[in-house]
Amino acid sequence: MKKTIKRRIFTVNLLTVSLLLIITAVAFSFVFRSYLEKDTLKQLNTIARRAENAMLQRPPHPFHQESDTRTDLADSFISLMMALRVPSASINAEYALIDDDGNLITPFKDYDKKPTESDAKIIEKILSCSKTRGTDGLTFYENGSEYAAVLKPIKQPDGTKAGTLVVYSSLNKINEMKSSINFILLIILLAGALLVLLLSNYLSKGISEPLSTLNKHIKSLSELNFSNALFVPADNEIQELVQNINIMAEKLDTHNQSQKLFLQNVSHEFRTPIMSIQCHAEGILYGVVEGSAAARIIIEESKRLTHLVEEVLYLSRLDAIEEICSQEPVDVQGLLQDTCKRLASIAENKQVSLNLHTTAGSLYVLGDSEKLGRCFSNILSNAIRYARNYVNVDVSKINDKVQISVSDDGPGIDKDEEAMIFNRFYKGKKGNTGLGLAISKSIIEKLKGTITACNTSIGAKFVIELPLSNNNH
């Protein structure tokens, strides 16, 4: 059978309630029986003391003395019977007088109240148990019934022993009361189990139904259905989970759309150089174009295609989960100086002045020097491509961050392009592959930094901020 949350909640609650009730029943039964047993022995002792005091007021001769009339014993016996009638006693006590030889005696030889065989066995058991367990109070079983008994010696005024008084009572009523209480507790246990079933069903619905809805929605997300937002009326914890799932669905939808657009753009960008190569190759084949000129175009388009493939693969590695930038101290100013040196010839060919303004000391960030160098190279190359006369690179320290500002005197960024400038395969008027700025943004974000682009009064400006490492001094 499938284990459900509802079934688990019911099982745990039922076991908890049952265990508590069973422990309560056992403890109550033990305490209740112990109390009644002690109370019975206490009452038997009270009755025995009253009888002992009554017989001391009318003391008999020793019980074993033979006599036909025994007037003194008859008087003592009557006093004993009156003393045994205790109005406040809640038990039915039986009694017997025993002589020194253990024989049951009566006040007259023709006394009609003769002990039964069962009574004789009970008294015999009492005398036997008293030899090992004392006389103040003892319990025992006889013929399937439990009894409590007290023995009191009856003495003469001179202190000599006249005999023994035995007072005993059955404990069957106590056991009956205990059985009744256990039956009541069983009824309570069954009622508690029914109540637990109802409450567990109510509580588990509040958990299982939202989870079932979540499960269906997640299954729908796995089938790439991101359009419907999820709403589940539930407690705060599940509501928070629902909100996170909706946020995840929005991000997955955005990612899915961007992947579709990415594939469309890739196919378009690849198709252009491939078609160019194919056309010139066919032109050479059919003698339509001059061979050397067509070959140069094929070589250029092949280089462009190779560069495009490298850019796509590099961006894919950045997007991959396993592609994590190494964390090592990188001197930002030193890296920018190296980048400017490598791009100086390109800037000179375009008659653009490339100016780097650094601050005193070294500024270190934790990152990957190769990836960060590629990022700087992409940003500076883009600025050189659009600049008319100069590109300025300014490095400064702002609180616990390093800020790199790259500005040019070019035409700037069109207002309708500012939001898309970092999108993949988005190219400006002089753009190359449309991947350089997308790669730069991905690298900066992996290093927990930010990159923004805006227009100034004379051109475009890119601002990069990266957190400083502890190696700065």
217-258 tens-digit pLDDT: 888 877 777 777 777 776 667 778 778 888 888 888 877 777
| pLDDT attached to residue 68 | 45
| pLDDT attached to residue 88 | 47
Fold of the 5-180 domain: Beta-Lactamase (3.30.450)
- Mean pLDDT in residue range 310-329: 68
Query: Is the distance from CB of 364 to CB of 375 less than 8 angstroms?
Result: no
The 10s digit of each residue's pLDDT in 404-416 is: 999 999 888 877 7
Please state, in angstroms and rounded to a whole number, the distance separating the CA atoms of residues 121 and 183: 33
Amino acid identity at 99: D
- Mean pLDDT in residue range 79-101: 64
3-state SS class at 217: helix
Query: Is the distance from CB of 331 to CB of 353 less than 8 angstroms?
Result: no
312: pLDDT confidence band, cut at 50, 70 and 90? confident
Amino acid identity at 370: E
- Judged against a pLDDT cut of 50, whether residue 34 lies above it is answered with yes
| pLDDT attached to residue 84 | 61
Task: Provide the CA 357 distance to its chain's centre, in angstroms.
Answer: 55
- Judged against a pLDDT cut of 50, whether residue 38 lies above it is answered with yes
Q: Considering just the CA atoms, what is the radius of gyration of the chain in Å?
A: 53
| CATH 3.30.565.10 fits domain 328-467 | yes
- Judged against a pLDDT cut of 90, whether residue 204 lies above it is answered with no
| pLDDT attached to residue 187 | 86
Q: What residues are paired with 330 via a beta bridge?
A: 365
Cα angle, residue 44 at apex, residues 145 and 173 outer, rounded to 5°: 35
- For residue 315, how many other CB atoms are within 10 A of its CB? 19
DSSP character for 361? S
Of 433, 431, 453, whose CA–CA distance to 441 is shortest?
Answer: 453
Please state, in angstroms and rounded to a whole number, the distance separating the CA atoms of residues 186 and 26: 12
Please state, in angstroms and rounded to a whole number, the distance separating the CA atoms of residues 111 and 129: 28
Q: State the alpha helices, DSSP H only, in 58-151.
A: 71-84, 117-133
| pLDDT attached to residue 297 | 82
DSSP state string for 377-397: HHHHHHHHHH-SSEEEEEEEE
φ/ψ of 148, rounded to 5, equals -125, 140
Query: Is the distance from CB of 171 to CB of 150 less than 8 angstroms?
Result: no
b or e along 214-243 (b: 16 or more beta carbons within 10 Å of the residue's beta carbon)? beebeeebeeeebeeebebebeeebeebbe
- Judged against a pLDDT cut of 50, whether residue 379 lies above it is answered with yes
Tokens representing 108 are: 């007259």
Query: Domain ranges in the chain?
Result: 5-180, 236-319, 328-467
| pLDDT attached to residue 406 | 93
- For residue 436, how many other CB atoms are within 10 A of its CB? 22
The greatest distance separating any two alpha carbons of the chain, rounded to the nearest whole angstrom, comes to 163
Please state, in angstroms and rounded to a whole number, the distance separating the CA atoms of residues 174 and 160: 38
To which H or E segment does residue 321 belong? none
| pLDDT attached to residue 107 | 47
- Mean pLDDT in residue range 48-68: 60
| pLDDT attached to residue 111 | 46
| pLDDT attached to residue 29 | 77
465: pLDDT confidence band, cut at 50, 70 and 90? very high
| pLDDT attached to residue 166 | 80
| pLDDT attached to residue 411 | 87
How far is residue 363 from each of residues 156, 314, 359, 406, measured CA to CA in Å? 115, 27, 9, 17
Rounded (10°) angle between helices 332-349 and 369-386: 30
- Mean pLDDT in residue range 71-97: 61
| pLDDT attached to residue 83 | 61
- Judged against a pLDDT cut of 60, whether residue 121 lies above it is answered with yes
Query: Is the distance from CB of 253 to CB of 225 less than 8 angstroms?
Result: no
Question: What strand order describes the sheet that includes 450-455?
Answer: 353-357, 390-398, 401-408, 460-467, 450-455
Q: Are strands 460-467 and 450-455 parallel, antiparallel or unpaired?
A: antiparallel
φ/ψ of 390, rounded to 5, equals -150, 160
| pLDDT attached to residue 108 | 42
Please state, in angstroms and rounded to a whole number, the distance separating the CA atoms of residues 138 and 340: 108
Mean pLDDT, all residues of the chain: 77
Of 462, 330, 331, 467, whose CA–CA distance to 399 is shortest?
Answer: 467
| pLDDT attached to residue 326 | 67
- Mean pLDDT in residue range 315-325: 60
| pLDDT attached to residue 380 | 92
- Judged against a pLDDT cut of 80, whether residue 49 lies above it is answered with no
165: pLDDT confidence band, cut at 50, 70 and 90? confident
* Contacting residues for 357 by C-beta, under 8 A, at least 6 apart: 392, 393, 394, 395
Query: Is the distance from CB of 242 to CB of 229 less than 8 angstroms?
Result: no
- Mean pLDDT in residue range 286-302: 80
pTM of the model: 0.48
Architecture per CATH, 236-319: Orthogonal Bundle (1.10)
Tokens representing 425 are: 């395969």
- Mean pLDDT in residue range 14-24: 80
Please state, in angstroms and rounded to a whole number, the distance separating the CA atoms of residues 92 and 336: 109
Query: Is the distance from CB of 460 to CB of 383 less than 8 angstroms?
Result: yes
| pLDDT attached to residue 67 | 45
**Residue that the structure tokens 């990415």 belong to:** 262
- Judged against a pLDDT cut of 90, whether residue 394 lies above it is answered with yes
- Judged against a pLDDT cut of 80, whether residue 464 lies above it is answered with yes
Cα angle, residue 48 at apex, residues 45 and 54 outer, rounded to 5°: 145
Please state, in angstroms and rounded to a whole number, the distance separating the CA atoms of residues 277 and 271: 10
